[in-house]
Structures are given as C-alpha cells and as structure tokens.
Amino acid sequence: MATTDSRPAGGIDRRALNRAFLARQLLSGRHVMTAEAALEHLVGLQAQAPFPPYYGLWSRLEGFRPQELADLLTGRRAVRIALMRGTVHLVTAADCLRLRPCFQPFLERGLTANFAKDLGGLDVAEVAEAARSLLAREPHTVGDLTTALRMAWPDRPANALGNVVRSLLPVVQIPPRGVWGMSGQPTYALAQDWIGGEMEAEAGIDDLVLRYLAAFGPATVKDIQAWSGLTRLRAVVERLRPRLVSLRDEEGRELLDLPDAPRPEGDAPVPVRYLAPYDNAILSHADRTRILSDEYRKAIATKNAVIPGTILVDGFVAGAWRIDQGRASTTLDVQLFTRIGGREREELTAEGERLLEFAADEGASRELRVVDA
C-alpha cells in the first residue's frame, strides 16, 4: 500500500483525494490479502446482486479465486445481510454481529416511511415475532415466508410483510444464494442461528465512523452519512475529533481523516481497474467527484438503479463494462466515455483479458469488445 503522507493537515486537491481514496480501497495496486481480511477492511461489499462481490475482490486482491469467497459463505464466515443504506452487503460473520445494531433504527424508520400505507394499523412487532418463530424452526425462502405470514394477515401485501421481516429481524440470505456458479432464491435464516453468537449489545457508531474513514476517507460528515444512511453523525464526529485530522478540499469543505492513513501525492501512478457492478467505491460519498465526474455519473445512471461495472483510468471512471457469460462463450463489452490511448489502452486490454479469464468457464471462447467514445 502507498506510504503515509507525513505533511501537516491542511489542503488536499482532487487528485490527491483520489489517490488517498484508491489506496484505502485497495485499488492502487493488487494486494496480498485474504478475502476475509479484505471484507473486514472494506466494511463489506455491496451485494444486492449475487456475484459483484467476486469481481470486487478480483480487482483488489492478488491471485483471488471465486472459491475462496464461496468457501466463506458456505462455511458461515461471511454472510449477506441488509446494512448500509438498507442495501444487502456481504460482510464477515463478525461484522454482521457488530454492525447490524448500528442500522436497526435506520431500517425501522425506512420501513415506516416506505410502507406506511400498506402497514397502517398493523402491529409490525407481532409480524416480526411470527416470522422469528418460523425461522427458528428452519430457513425459509422469502416467498414461502411471506406466504405463511399472509395466512395470518391476508389483507397485507407480501412485499410489505417481507420488508417487516428484513427490517425488524437480523436475517441473512443463506447459500446457495451468492455462491459463485450457483443460483438460488433468497432464503432467510436468523443471523444468530446461522453463524452463532449474539448481536452486539450496543451500536458501535464511533467504531463504524473510524472504519469508514480507514476504507473511504478522507471524508466529510455528509459523505459518512451518504455511505451509511445514518443521520446526525456530526455529534459523533465531534466526539471523535481529538483522534482525527482536518483537511480542506478545493471547495473549502472540511474532510476528516485518520492521522496515519495513507495520503499519496496526486501524481502517484495508479493502474487501470475494472470495478464491480454496484462497487461501493463509486457509491459511498455525497460528493463522488473524487472518482466519478457528474457527467459520467449521469452516463451510468439507470431508471431501475442498476449500477454497471465501471472502468478506472488514471484513477477516475472513464467507461463502463458488462459481461455476457455462457458455457461456450464469454464476451466482455467495454463502453468508453472518453478516448484513451498509449499505455493506458494497453492496460485496458490486458486487464480486460484477465477479467475474461477470471469469469469464463474453462474451455469457453472469450471475446473483448471495446467501443470508443
């Protein structure tokens, strides 16, 4: 990882902010690290689709193979659970127990806000206890669970009842969901039953903020709130201020950081990288221009909130990619948003070939197609 900048706290320009962020995200070069250690450092990987976490680790770790993460899931050392921003994240089992209490109030508020009409007059705690009893006997698919709950509450939509379960209970999505090369319906189990242990008694918000800065900093209070979905974090930051350093970006905004975190120079070389779909590297700040311009943010926006894989050139998003995979052939389509050439073009091609090798079935033909801006 890049060496720590020992200069006094002060200003930081956009390129230096970019380089600091890439270093925290393990994107300034591939790292020799276990998948479990990377999940811990990154505070999980966004995982509402089953397989993006595999691409996220491939882009960051030297020699990563899908079986390593699959083994964590089947061995119950990593789980898929709703956490930051109410979205499903893949985290270590230990982080599941540590982090879920931090987001319980947020999930409950979201349930009330998003399903007020469907849940009006309903005792949601009673629904949650009924679901807990069902799940204590055995895991249930979401469909089977909501069908059982609708027998008691037939006038309530299945989607609303399912979200009561997801929001009020610490449920994890169990394998084969999320296991590389396999498919399966979302199936819930209670986290404590699946991985053992108990949820932390108190929400560790201070630790959550410090870990965010270690993986995503330097950052403003608004950035921390955008990543987590939590509000009123300024008081937490003020409590932590003696342990932090203060920087100013080019707009004069205060960025908080850990004193010993890496802050390379803005001209530090960084490799071309293919980021996973839904990668938290482009989703975890109120101001994403440290890695994604406002223009290109619009280019990757979709009506159904699907976030494609993106490509970093000189540290910033410069294109998007998608992979079409079959047993006989695998195609990687790259759409560039800007023209690139020379060494970066060679890197783009070489890294694309490595991605194809990672994703394709053995013996399948592979094709890389690049569409220039």
Please state, in angstroms and rounded to a whole number, the distance separating the CA atoms of residues 341 and 327.
33
Helix (H) or strand (E) holding 365: strand 365-371
Any idea what the Cα angle at residue 353 is, between residues 349 and 355, rounded to 5°?
Answer: 115
Structure tokens at 23: 């270093």
Residue type, 287: D
The predicted structure's pLDDT at residue 28: 97
Q: Are 285 and 248 in contact (CB under 8 A)?
A: no
- In this structure, the number of other CB atoms found within 10 A of the CB of residue 115 comes to 20
The predicted structure's pLDDT at residue 2: 41
Give exposure, 220-245, as e/b (b: 16+ Cβ within 10 Å). Answer: bbebbbbbbbbeebeebbeebeeebb
Helix (H) or strand (E) holding 230: none
Structure tokens at 174: 């169990």
Residue type, 40: E
Q: Are 206 and 236 in contact (CB under 8 A)?
A: yes
Residue 69, helix vs strand vs coil: helix
DSSP sequence for 202-230: S--HHHHHHHHHHHH-SB-HHHHHHHH--
Neighbouring residues of 304: CB distance < 8 A, sequence distance ≥ 6? none
Strand order in the sheet with 45-46: 45-46, 88-92, 78-82, 171-173, 187-190, 140-141
Identify the CA nearest to 12 among candidates 313, 284, 257. Answer: 257
Strand partners, 332: 323, 368
Cα–Cα distances in angstroms (integers) from residue 84 to residues 80, 252, 273, 289, in the given order:
12, 28, 24, 21
Write phi, then psi, for 161 (nearest 5 degrees): -65, -40
Chain centroid to Cα 126, Å, comes to: 32
Per-residue pLDDT of the chain (373 residues; tens, 9 = 90+): 444 443 345 899 999 999 999 999 999 999 999 999 999 999 999 999 999 999 999 999 999 999 999 999 999 999 999 999 999 999 999 999 999 999 999 999 999 999 999 999 999 999 999 999 999 999 999 999 999 999 999 999 999 999 999 999 999 999 999 999 998 899 999 999 999 999 988 879 999 999 999 999 999 999 999 999 999 999 999 999 999 999 999 999 999 999 999 999 999 999 999 999 999 999 999 999 999 999 999 989 877 788 999 999 999 999 999 999 888 999 999 999 999 989 999 999 999 999 999 999 888 899 999 999 8
The predicted structure's pLDDT at residue 363: 84
Identify the CA nearest to 183 among candidates 371, 311, 49, 10. Answer: 49
Burial label, 252 (beta-carbon count in 10 A; 0-12, 13-18, 19+): exposed
Omega before residue 176 within 30° of 0, cis: yes
The helices-and-strands tally (H runs, E runs) of the chain is 15, 13
Write phi, then psi, for 33 (nearest 5 degrees): -160, 145
